[in-house]
Structure 1
Amino acid sequence: VGYAEHKGLFMRNEMVCTKTLYNYLHKGILGIKAIDLPLVVRRSQRKSISRKHKRELGKSIELRDPNIETREEFGHWELDTVRGTKDKTDHVLISLLERKSRLYVALRCPSARATDVKETLHAWLNTFKNVNLACLCKTITADNGLEFSEISNLENETLSIYFARPYSAWERGSNERHNGLLRRCIPKGMPIKAVSEETIQRTLQWCNNLPRKLLNYRTPLDVFLEEVNKIVDLNTVQFHIAI
């Protein structure tokens, strides 16, 4: 509804508001049930509890600049892995999300071993060619999985890496949310080895071109490219995103 209004797809008197649309849904007018919506059963009002930090893989999120929480500054990323099966020989996907634009990236990694994850992430960082890395990637915040035990070695004078508290997925909530979107096309139990690169890129394209209310109904790709344009000519940058 917001996207249609923002883009002027219909006359305003031809549209219903979001609340009315949901009312239609609950009354069965639209032919589907609320329970059919992917996120309805996942909403929880349970209060979040921060548990004591037990595993020290690097700098705690507590040391991260509080201003990053506002999402007003570009270049701060969240990091996670997406697994298909428990088979240690299967590939995994390394997922990254830029906090301001919500641009989502998924990188294929040979395994969940710490060395493979570090090398895959390092290769991705190197794709920011001919540009000062500090412009596009200032911080990365990961969870406490052992697969990230070596990524602190990638820190330098322009890149800082932090680790969220254990059992605190909300500290990387946007990344977790987008992993859920990825799961619609690559469900649990499907080996990542069996997923084609075309499927991965098509899924990322859908995620990054999905209008978001919190972005004033712009897409993550629009916002990301707008921010990059403020920094440098896009023709001088090479990086892995799905357009």
Structure 2
Amino acid sequence: MRRSYTHLAVQERALIETQLKLGMSPAAIAAGLMRAPSTVTREIRRNGWLAPAELSRLGRTRIAGGYRCVAADRRARLLAAKPRVARKLILGNPLWIVVVDHLRHGLSPAQIGSTLARMPDPVQLSYETIYTALYTMPRGHLRSSLLALMRRRHRARRPHRRQDGRSKPSIPEMTLIDQRSVEIRMRLIPGHWEGDLIIGKGNLSQVGTLVERTTPFVALVKLTSSKADVTAQAFTEILNRFDSQLRRSMTFDQGSEMRHHKTLTANTGVDVYFAHPHAPWERGISENTNGLLRQYLPKGTDLSLFSQDQLDDIAWRLNTQPRKTLGWKAPAELFLPEDAFDFVQHWSPKINHVALVP
């Protein structure tokens, strides 16, 4: 007997018809197929089979009791393609319009589901429902335009691929990540950041990224070059926007742009720690955030064209989006002072208050 159920294949249905013609009982057929007797019984009953006792009252005996494997397989395929429950998300309905509008605001399917659930009139919508609705659309301009709104812009859902790191130059007087205190490693209090660079077209432009490890609140840094002195000055200006209690440490990779980390520490009070070479998982929050930022700063883009104000606007978009790791709260809710950001007040105007569900 099989441990997990699978639908009958056309070959099994053909065997059922043949063995019924030979006069075998449904129980014997099920044993030969290593199926539960109820599986075979339901299959033949729902497809016109009658027991010999029933056939005797009808006159002429029907071949295989009236069961036909080709017709049964065709019926099964048609029923499998027809949903048993009416779909909640249908192209063009009010809920579809709301989902597309949230995609245009930069939210992922999971974030859309959590946002709708937190509204005054909550709607329960699984992110898998959104993915299914988008990726099962017919090929064409509409499908391409909607998939272009997705964060990764993949034409199909696919697993992440591992990328090998490259060697990094040594940094003078650097403190390795191993020497971080417990409160930094465990993310017990806010104020500890992870930093990195996003590289633009032709490796000729770059934007600095800062992600607070506890919240994770994002700040972006405009860089005119990746030189160490320019990087130290630009990161200093952004970090000094925050109170001293919210700028305690920063973890960076061993890129040459952070050679002046001592200057950065002197100007901000931020202790700088360095991850090991070829170990991006040691700054996992930063790596994940860089992937999210690629929705707004795509690869192959000249990042020098973005002003600091534009980068602040992009960071604010991420900081107001609900995050699964935060119990679907937004980073701004946790990082900013209490009552400085109201999630419902921020997102309610972006939702068309019509009947989202029947």
Q: TM-score, normalised by structure 2?
A: 0.51
Change (3 A) 1:197 1:166: same
> 1:81: which partner in 2?
197
> 1:65: which partner in 2?
181
Change (3 A) 1:158 1:43: same
Alpha-carbon offset, residue 65 of structure 1 = 1.4
Alpha-carbon offset, residue 123 of structure 1 = 2.4
Change (3 A) 1:184 1:2: closer
User: In terms of Rg, which structure is larger?
Assistant: 2
The total of aligned residue pairs comes to 217
Structure 2 gap ranges (5+): 1-112, 341-358
1:108-127 residue pairs with structure 2 within 5 A? 108-127=222-241
> 1:203: which partner in 2?
314
1:131-146 residue pairs with structure 2 within 5 A? 131=243, 133=244, 135-146=245-256
**SS in structure 2 opposite 1:62?**
helix
Change (3 A) 1:55 1:195: same
Deviations 1:171-202 (A, max 9, x none): 11111222222222222222222234454233
**SS in structure 1 opposite 2:334?**
helix
- Report if the CA contact (8 A) 2:233-2:264 is conserved: no
Q: In 2, distance between residues paired with 1:93 and 1:217?
A: 27
Change (3 A) 1:202 1:127: closer
Q: Partner letter of residue 281 of structure 2?
A: W
Q: Compute the RMSD of aligned alpha carbons.
A: 3.5
1:8-87 residue pairs with structure 2 within 5 A? 8-10=120-122, 15-18=124-127, 38=151, 40-43=157-160, 55-57=170-172, 58-86=174-202
User: Is 2:213 the partner of 1:102?
Assistant: no
> 2:118: which partner in 1?
6
Counterpart among 293, 297, 306 of residue 186 in structure 1? 297
Q: Partner letter of residue 125 of structure 1?
A: L
Q: Partner letter of residue 118 of structure 2?
A: H
- Report if the CA contact (8 A) 1:210-1:219 is conserved: yes
Structure 1 gap ranges (5+): 234-243
Q: In 1, distance between residues paired with 2:283 and 2:291?
A: 13
Q: In 1, distance between residues paired with 2:329 and 2:232?
A: 33
- Percent identical pairs in the alignment equals 25
Alpha-carbon offset, residue 223 of structure 1 = 1.0
Q: In 1, distance between residues paired with 2:303 and 2:128?
A: 39
Deviations 1:34-93 (A, max 9, x none): x9865543535x7x99999983441000111133232231110000111213455x4x21
Change (3 A) 1:49 1:189: closer
- Report if the CA contact (8 A) 1:78-1:142 is conserved: yes
> 2:95: which partner in 1?
none
1:161-240 residue pairs with structure 2 within 5 A? 161-226=272-337, 229=338
Alpha-carbon offset, residue 8 of structure 1 = 4.5
Q: In 1, distance between residues paired with 2:220 and 2:165?
A: 28
Structure with greater contact order relative to length (CA < 8 Å, sep ≥ 6):
1
Alpha-carbon offset, residue 151 of structure 1 = 1.2
Alpha-carbon offset, residue 6 of structure 1 = 3.4
Q: Name the structure with the higher strand share.
A: 1
Q: Partner letter of residue 60 of structure 1?
A: L
- Report if the CA contact (8 A) 2:319-2:332 is conserved: yes
Q: In 1, distance between residues paired with 2:240 and 2:309?
A: 23
Change (3 A) 1:82 1:49: closer
- Report if the CA contact (8 A) 1:140-1:160 is conserved: yes
Is 210-219 or 156-165 further displaced after alignment?
156-165
- Report if the CA contact (8 A) 1:51-1:165 is conserved: no
Q: TM-score, normalised by structure 1?
A: 0.73
